[in-house]
Chain A
Amino acid sequence: MINFDEELKKFHPSMEVDEVEDAIFDHDLTDMTDIMLSMMKQAKAQQAQQPPQPQQQPLQPGATVI
């Protein structure tokens, strides 16, 4: 059963031709590539803030492996 008021809420006023400029400015142009680049930048920044990890010593011959 269709609820007229609920359905009516789904209809929005259309933008007039004069409002094209606003529509373009309000357009969200962020895409997946932007997000990915942003994430990569954040990751690099975090990497730069952390102290460098001590390097592991190579195994000596004859050492017991657990």
Chain B
Amino acid sequence: MKCYVCGNRLSEHDFCTACGADVGAYKKIMKTSNALYNDGLEKAKVRDLSGAVSSLRLSLKYNKRNIQARNLLGLIYFEMGEAVSAMSEWVISKNLEGTKNIADDFITALQSNPTQLDTINQTIRKYNQALNYCHMDSQDLAIIQLKKVLSINQNLIVGHQLLALLYIAGEEYEKARQTLMRAIRIDANNTTTLSYLKEVDRVLREREEKETGKKKKSQGEVYSYTSGNETIIQPGYAKEKIGFSSIINIVIGIVVGLAICWFLVLPARIEKATAENDAKFISVSEQLTAEQADKEMVKEQLSESQQEVRDLQQQIDEMTGNAGTITINDYLNQACTIYLEDPDNAEGIMEALGNISPEALSEVSSTFSNLYSKLYSAAGLHAVKQYMDKGRAAMRSSEYQVAIEQFEKAWALDSSDSDILMNLAHAYRQSGDTQKADELYIQLMRDFPDTQNAIDAEGYITTPVG
């Protein structure tokens, strides 16, 4: 706080320490101004804009240089839709305090947006036009114009108030009430708004009471009539029929409930169930695919195993077949065993060796072949001798078939001995088969031409040689 005479900063004393001027009253004025500013600020915080304007204007009446109060007043005017008043306050504030003044920012913000400024100007013009319509009794036009104004500038308190007044004049109290409530949301404690609202509420309450009274009266009506000497008074209201109408109401309720279930609840349930089923289906499909893949793999393995089994079986068959190596070895072992047990059993040895086919001998090892040859040569001559002896004995006992058999065996073992062939031919001749005997005689003459047997054979031939 500065002295109004010399501008020196004042102390706690009631006089200026620089010039000695009495500043007691001045200090009180300044304090009052500040207190009113605080009051205005508090009111503005609770949206009591009208009260704040009163306090701030009073504050400025005490101290026109209260810059904060003037700036706040401008801001409140702007909030109430009165941009021109706001602008004038800020301009004055800026003139009084040129530096570090927030009013400068407000003015700059407003002037830097020409569109907003133009909109504000149009709003003001339309409001003035609406007011003009009111004075000319064109209230409908005024309402239309005010609606336009309020759609652009919703905070114009006077606009709301004027519109509410027009609604009240047209007895549209509900609309008036709505408009006033909107105004109250902007300025909570505006005297004009509150007075209009009070009037509107009063009228609405009266109307409601009137309607309620009518209903009560209609409910409270009584009927009276005379029956003989007695006057009967009966209540006017009819007893509610609760029978059939109740059933209808219940049925309607059930139908509505079912419809809600059908149209709201059921689709949601179905959708949920479908989603769950889809998820299950996908899961099962994945499992099935995996199992099918496993099955294919198992099949493939089985096929491979079966093929292996077949191959092995084939190998086993080859190894254990009649012409197989094992069988040949067995026969050779058998022959060896017989030879070791009884070297004179040449027939047994030859019988065992006879089971080994000549084709098989071409595929055996050299060891096998050597052993076979030694056994064959060791037992062969002996066996031939035995067969020959048996054959001769049979011939002597006239058992020619046996003799043929024995000589055949001997001839099979040793085809280099012409005696065997000669005896075989004799056996056939004695048995009566001269044709076969002749063939053998001829064979003997051909194979052993310079022998005694060949010469003798020529004499035994019954059929002349052609």
Interface string of A16-49 (1 = CB under 8 A from B): 1111100110010111111011000000000000
Contact between A17 and B84 (Cβ–Cβ < 8 Å)?
yes
Contact between B117 and A17 (Cβ–Cβ < 8 Å)?
yes
- Interface residue ranges, B against A (CB under 8 Å): 4, 25-26, 29, 33, 60-65, 82-85, 87-88, 91-92, 117, 120-121, 124-125, 127-128, 131, 134-135, 158, 161-162, 165, 168-169, 192, 195-196, 199
Chain B nearest CB: distance from A11 CB in Å? 6
Contact between B124 and A14 (Cβ–Cβ < 8 Å)?
yes
Chain A nearest CB: distance from B195 CB in Å? 8
In the complex, which range does the number of interface residues on chain A fall in? 20 to 34
Chain B nearest CB: distance from A40 CB in Å? 9
The answer for the CA separation of A2 and B180 in the assembled complex, in Å, is: 15
Contact between B131 and A11 (Cβ–Cβ < 8 Å)?
yes
Contact between B199 and A8 (Cβ–Cβ < 8 Å)?
no
What residue in chain A is nearest B64 (Cβ atoms)? Answer: A31
Contact between B87 and A17 (Cβ–Cβ < 8 Å)?
yes
Contact between A24 and B29 (Cβ–Cβ < 8 Å)?
no
Given A2-B196, A20-B91, A13 and B131 contact (CB-CB distance below 8 Å): yes
> Chain B residues with Cβ under 8 A from A14's Cβ?
82, 84, 124, 127-128, 158
The answer for the CA separation of A40 and B322 in the assembled complex, in Å, is: 157
What residue in chain A is nearest B95 (Cβ atoms)? Answer: A24
Contact between B4 and A7 (Cβ–Cβ < 8 Å)?
no
- Interface residue ranges, A against B (CB under 8 Å): 1-2, 4, 7-8, 10-11, 13-20, 23-24, 27, 29-34, 36-37
Given A16-B121, A24-B92, A33 and B63 contact (CB-CB distance below 8 Å): yes
> Chain B residues with Cβ under 8 A from A31's Cβ?
60-65
Contact between A27 and B62 (Cβ–Cβ < 8 Å)?
no
What residue in chain A is nearest B83 (Cβ atoms)? Answer: A17
Q: A16-B128, A32-B63 are in contact. List 15 more A-B contacts (CB 8 A).
A: A2-B196, A11-B161, A11-B162, A14-B124, A16-B84, A16-B121, A17-B121, A20-B91, A23-B85, A24-B92, A31-B64, A31-B65, A33-B4, A33-B29, A33-B62
Interface centre among A4, A14, A19, A20 (most CB of B within 10 A): A14
Contact between A24 and B88 (Cβ–Cβ < 8 Å)?
yes
* A-B pairs with lowest CB-CB distance, top 4: A31-B64, A15-B84, A23-B88, A13-B128
> Chain B residues with Cβ under 8 A from A27's Cβ?
88, 92
> Chain A residues with Cβ under 8 A from B85's Cβ?
15, 23
Contact between B125 and A16 (Cβ–Cβ < 8 Å)?
yes
Contact between A1 and B63 (Cβ–Cβ < 8 Å)?
no
Contact between B199 and A1 (Cβ–Cβ < 8 Å)?
yes
The answer for the CA separation of A8 and B137 in the assembled complex, in Å, is: 11
Chain A nearest CB: distance from B458 CB in Å? 168
Interface centre among A20, A24, A32, A34 (most CB of B within 10 A): A32
Chain B nearest CB: distance from A52 CB in Å? 22
Contact between B120 and A17 (Cβ–Cβ < 8 Å)?
yes
Contact between A8 and B121 (Cβ–Cβ < 8 Å)?
no
> Chain B residues with Cβ under 8 A from A16's Cβ?
84, 121, 124-125, 128
Chain B nearest CB: distance from A22 CB in Å? 9
> Chain A residues with Cβ under 8 A from B161's Cβ?
11
Contact between A15 and B92 (Cβ–Cβ < 8 Å)?
no
The answer for the CA separation of A27 and B85 in the assembled complex, in Å, is: 10
> Chain A residues with Cβ under 8 A from B168's Cβ?
2, 4
Chain A nearest CB: distance from B464 CB in Å? 167
Contact between A11 and B158 (Cβ–Cβ < 8 Å)?
yes
> Chain A residues with Cβ under 8 A from B120's Cβ?
17
The answer for the CA separation of A14 and B199 in the assembled complex, in Å, is: 26
The answer for the CA separation of A20 and B84 in the assembled complex, in Å, is: 6
The answer for the CA separation of A13 and B132 in the assembled complex, in Å, is: 9
